């Protein structure tokens, strides 16, 4: 029996279906000891997304975007987070979406992107995959101010940091976004260290 066959969903109830869908699921779980347990859990269904971190090896810099996030605010912070440019796929390929989000949010046109991961950020309760990318940039690639889209409620600032400063900001708690931490650590270990 495959791991996937150990789970059988027996009931589904939609609790909310506004911007995202919150669902209550009841399922049978075949435990490792051979017994079967009936469990209930809530799952928040979020469209898959793509995130892209810009890096400049020659100057030792990365580009992040700063924007307000209500859930971060509810956790006790100012609510303003530093993140890699990102967005929901909305039917686009991850590569096309990440290029569009980098342009929309940060104002850079990138010629190449490299996929470095697929991550489930909160697999215990959120059904959502983030496709993580890195992309080289130069100052000449900046062709718009960025800033996001008003219709999406975005009010984004573009922030260029040294890779060393960005890594210190993870340690100090100034950068808390999971996808961004993964991408910063990737470029630090695989690109900046190798150069």
Q: Containing H/E element for 100?
A: helix 94-101
* 177 in the same domain as 93: yes
* 54 in the same domain as 34: no
3-state secondary structure of 22: strand
Annotated binding site for Mg(2+): 86, 101, 105, 154
| Per-residue pLDDT tens over the stretch 70-126 | 999 999 999 999 999 999 999 999 999 999 999 999 999 999 999 999 999 999 999
* 181 in the same domain as 125: yes
| Per-residue pLDDT tens over the stretch 20-79 | 999 999 999 999 999 999 999 999 999 999 999 999 999 999 999 999 999 999 999 999
pTM of this structure: 0.92
What is the rounded distance in angstroms from the CA atom of residue 8 to the CA atom of residue 30? 9
Give the chain's domain count.
Answer: 2
* 72 in the same domain as 9: no
What letter does residue 31 receive in the DSSP assignment? Answer: -
Annotated binding site: 86, 101, 105, 154
| Rounded alpha-carbon distances, angstroms, from residue 193 to 25, 60, 164, 183, 188 | 45, 11, 11, 14, 6
């Amino acid at each position: 029996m495959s791991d996937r066959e150990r789970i059988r969903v027996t009931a589904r109830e939609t609790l909310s279906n506004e911007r995202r869908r919150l669902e209550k699921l009841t399922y049978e779980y075949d435990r490792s000891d051979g017994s079967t347990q009936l469990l209930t859990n809530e799952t928040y269904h979020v469209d898959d997304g793509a995130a892209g971190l810009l890096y400049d090896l020659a100057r030792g810099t990365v580009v992040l975007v700063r924007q307000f996030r209500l859930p971060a605010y509810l956790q006790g912070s100012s609510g303003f987070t530093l993140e890699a440019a990102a967005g929901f796929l909305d039917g686009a390929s991850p590569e096309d979406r990440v290029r569009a989000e980098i342009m929309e949010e940060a104002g850079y046109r990138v010629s190449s992107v490299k996929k470095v991961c697929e991550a489930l950020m909160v697999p215990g309760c959120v059904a959502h995959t983030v496709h993580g990318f890195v992309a080289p940039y130069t100052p000449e690639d900046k062709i718009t101010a960025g800033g996001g889209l008003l219709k999406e409620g975005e009010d984004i600032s573009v922030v260029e940091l040294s890779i060393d400063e960005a890594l210190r900001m993870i340690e100090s708690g100034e950068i808390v976004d999971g996808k961004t931490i993964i991408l910063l650590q990737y470029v630090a270990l695989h690109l900046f260290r190798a150069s």
